[in-house]
Amino acid sequence: MHPVPARPSRARRAWGETWRVLAALFAGLTVLLLVAWEADTGDRQVSDAQAALDLAVGVLGLGLLLLRRKAPLTVALVLCAASAVSVTVVGAEAIAAVSLATSRRWWKIAAVGVVFVVAGRVYSVLHPYVAPEPYEGWVDLLTGVLVYALFVWIGAYIGLRREHLASLRERAETAEREQAGRVAQARTAERTRIAREMHDVLAHRISLVAMHAGALAYRTDLPPEKVAETAAVVQTNAHAALAELREVLGVLRDPAAPAAPEPPQPTFADLDALLAEARANGADVRLDARPDGTDGLGEVVSRHAYRIVQEGLTNARKHAPWAPVTVTVSGAPGAGLTIVVRNPVRSVGPARQGEAPPDSGLGLVGLAERVDLVGGRLSHGVTTTDGTTGAGGGAQFRLEAWLPWAA
């Protein structure tokens, strides 16, 4: 299957047809004048009627040449047959033969070639020389074959060149589409990464705001200094959430704008700071165990481990505010890193905090994606103190993740 070349503009097509018709007319009139000169010198027998017919057929051939793209075989056969009585049509005949050869349909080319050679011999019989040579017939046949072979070679070369250019154009367009697809895919992946990071950060901030705002709403017995302290926590975390949200919206609104340097992402080395911040905001968080050598975790695994603990604290604040949270970290190089975050299902704080904040369900989904990316495992659910599933009086929510830790 040959590639389809791009369609030229209307003006370019009109100019292409115009110069071809003018070239065919020039070639036909040139050969007609040569035959007329031979007739005038007495070398060839040409009557006035034959000359008039020759010119008329040549003019009709020029009009027929314009239809060669719609019916190339028919036009080529008619023009070649017309050359038996007209030399004025040889220019249109040559262009039609070249045009047919561009398709490289060899049985069609062979059929037109037979008509071309026979018509040339017929013209020599109808317009003989006064003193013909004995071998003139063979010369006419050989000349016809060689001339037609030249037309076929030119047409085949033009066809191959067009297909080559069309193939190059198609490759360039395909490469541009693939490059655009890769750019769009990279942009989507980056936006997904940004959305995952911002979900973790904003959920952490908003859960703090919701927990302390709930305390202000339901603890009417708090002293003024405690109210001011809690309101300051709400204000600080709300401002931090707005700043982080404004930053990510700026990136997503104008992806073509130069991005500001991205701040360093927290890693597992910042775990103590995360727990200290949670305790400073009123949470009861305990680090049950932590192995040595966690500084040797890879950057990606270390960042995912930090986000797992952060999401566990966020979920505890959302669904069990003021409840104690226990974080257990265990493992060793080569055996993997295990992180467990546990908290009671029911709140044990001094007062109920009202309805729980809406649960998007995306936090645990994002954690599962993080863990899958590094070949880890993630499990979560409600268990009892003896390890069985269910929601009894001692039920607790357990988030457990295992991450690979290279030796």
Give residue 346's pLDDT: 64
Q: Which of 369, 363, 370 is nearest to 199 (CA)?
A: 363
- Per-residue pLDDT tens, the chain, 407 aa: give them: 445 445 567 777 787 788 888 888 888 888 888 888 887 787 777 777 888 888 888 888 888 888 888 888 888 889 888 888 888 888 888 888 888 888 888 888 888 889 888 888 888 888 777 766 666 667 778 888 898 889 889 888 988 898 889 889 899 888 888 888 887 887 777 667 666 666 666 776 777 677 777 767 776 777 777 777 777 777 777 777 777 677 666 656 655 555 554 556 788 888 888 888 888 877 889 988 788 777 778 888 888 888 889 888 888 888 787 789 999 999 888 888 999 999 988 644 444 444 555 555 567 777 888 788 888 899 988 887 655 555 455 788 899 999 998 87
Structural tokens at position 97: 């033969």
Enter the pTM of the model.
0.46
Amino acid at 366: G
Question: End-to-end distance of the chain based on CA atoms, in angstroms?
Answer: 56
Task: Spell out the domains of the chain, with CATH numbers in brackets.
Answer: 10-132 (no CATH), 270-348+360-407 (3.30.565.10)
- Write the CB contacts of 186 (distance below 8 Å, at least 6 apart in sequence): none
Query: In three state form, how does the secondary structure of the chain look?
Result: CCCCCCCCCHHHHHHHHHHHHHHHHHHHHHHHHHHHHHHHHCCECCCHHHHHHHHHHHHHHHHHHCCCCCCHHHHHHHHHHHCCCCCCCHHHHHHHHHHHHCCCCHHHHHHHHHHHHHHHHHHHHHCCECCCCCCHHHHHHHHHHHHHHHHHHHHHHHHHHHHHHHHHHHHHHHHHHHHHHHHHHHHHHHHHHHHHHHHHHHHHHHHHHHHHHHHHHHCCCCCHHHHHHHHHHHHHHHHHHHHHHHHHHHHHHCCCCCCCCCCCCCCHHHHHHHHHHHHHCCCCEEEEECCCCHHHCCHHHHHHHHHHHHHHHHHHHHHCCCCCEEEEEEEECCCEEEEEEEEECCCCCCCCCCCCCCCCCHHHHHHHHHHHHCCCEEEEEEECCCCCECCCCCCEEEEEEEECCCC
